[in-house]
């Protein structure tokens, strides 16, 4: 089957795509695909491989040969799943490839906030330590995470990994409950409705997919429920947080700090209200929590497995 990858460059240059080539046979690589190029490139494809390239219903309707979309990610909000289902196009994502990388990044952000690392680093660079009257600087609050409460929204593979690390640091863990979910998780972690969880947490960490139902899940109302010393960490999707409300909360001192690896538009070509802030308790990283070399190569290997299994008829995991 002819297999075309539309955005190979988004996966980095320090990994090999050979597993995809071996699985697909007839393999065509494009590093980038502008929106107006997508239909032309996919009209002869049986299998499309995409990371963040958007495949709308209108695009899928013009690709009559397309049988499978292999998403080199976990999230599939860039794919019109309803149209794919109607056209019998199998959509397959990849999970459990980036747990170690993302958990590590989440705690890098959490520890940086807890230790006020940006503020202390800034003071060292500007020479305040050189001119200090004491042997050390301790102008900014340093929070011990041991004994503090972590709230997790989204308790899949990544949420479990973050919970495991938090417990190793001596933190208490609570999980957000939605709908008719039980009061405890499968590992016994307490579940609480979001409005009950938020006032209790010292750190809130987001690990859920973005859907229409949870867009702006954390807005002004939710931020107001949190302790003014609490931290918000988002390594999931930018649209989960009302960025304007978060900026206001930080500026008004209503939140202890925030760290996000994601924004509502990526790359932020039109700017972003959070990028306009110059605050030591706001950390922004460029959607790189998933991007260790090991995780990205694992992602390619698992995508190749999905394609191979689709071709030989043994594919079991799929979104649609």
Among 67, 65, 70, 28, which Cα is nearest to 53's? 70
Q: Is 237 considered catalytic here?
A: yes
Which position among 105, 237, 296, 298 bears the catalytic label?
237
Strand 203-206 to 149-153 pairing? parallel
Instruction: From 134, 137, 139, 141, select the one nearest 115 (Cα to Cα).
Output: 141
Distance (Å, whole) CA 233 – CA 112: 11
Name the one residue in this structure whose structure tokens are 């979309």.
69
Dist. CA 97–CA 101, nearest whole Å: 9
Task: Give me the phi and psi of 28, to 5 degrees please.
Answer: -120, 130
Could you give the angle at the alpha carbon of 111 between the alpha carbons of 165 and 141, nearest 5°? 135
Q: Examine residue 267 and say whether the peptide bond preceding it is cis (omega within 30 degrees of 0).
A: yes
287 assigned to active site: yes
Q: Which residue out of 29, 87, 172, 287 is catalytically annotated?
A: 287
Catalytic hit among 18, 144, 196, 266: 266
Check: CB of residue 197 under 8 Å from CB of residue 227: no
- Name 206's bridge partners: 153, 234
23/127 Cα distance (integer angstroms): 56
Active site residues: 237, 266, 287
């Amino acid at each position: 089957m002819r297999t075309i990858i539309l955005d190979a460059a988004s996966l980095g240059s320090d990994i090999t795509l050979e597993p995809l080539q071996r699985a697909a046979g007839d393999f065509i690589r494009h590093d980038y695909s502008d929106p107006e190029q997508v239909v032309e490139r996919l009209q002869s494809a049986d299998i499309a491989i995409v990371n963040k390239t958007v495949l709308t219903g209108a695009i899928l309707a013009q690709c009559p040969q397309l049988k499978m979309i292999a998403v080199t990610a976990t999230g599939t909000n860039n794919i019109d799943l309803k149209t794919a289902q109607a056209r019998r196009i199998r959509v397959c994502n990849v999970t459990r490839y980036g747990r170690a990388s993302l958990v590590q990044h989440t705690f890098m952000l959490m520890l940086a906030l807890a230790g006020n690392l940006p503020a202390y680093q800034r003071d060292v660079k500007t020479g305040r330590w050189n001119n200090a009257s004491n042997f050390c600087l301790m102008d900014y609050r340093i929070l011990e995470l041991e004994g503090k409460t972590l709230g997790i929204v989204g308790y899949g593979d990544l949420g479990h990994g973050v919970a495991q690390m938090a417990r190793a640091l001596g933190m208490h863990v609570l999980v957000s409950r939605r709908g008719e979910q039980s009061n405890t998780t499968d590992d016994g972690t307490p579940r609480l409705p979001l409005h009950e969880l938020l006032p209790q947490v010292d750190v809130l960490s987001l690990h859920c997919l973005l859907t229409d139902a949870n867009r702006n899940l954390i807005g002004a109302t939710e931020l107001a429920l949190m302790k003014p010393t609490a931290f918000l960490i988002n390594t999931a999707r930018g649209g989960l947080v009302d960025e304007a409300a978060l900026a206001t909360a930080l500026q008004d001192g209503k939140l202890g700090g925030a760290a996000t690896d994601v924004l509502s538009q990526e790359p932020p070509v039109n700017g972003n209200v959070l990028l306009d802030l110059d605050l030591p308790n706001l950390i922004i990283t460029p959607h790189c929590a998933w991007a260790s070399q090991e995780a990205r190569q694992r992602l390619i290997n698992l995508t190749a497995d999905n394609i191979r299994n689709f071709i030989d008829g043994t594919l079991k995991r799929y979104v649609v």
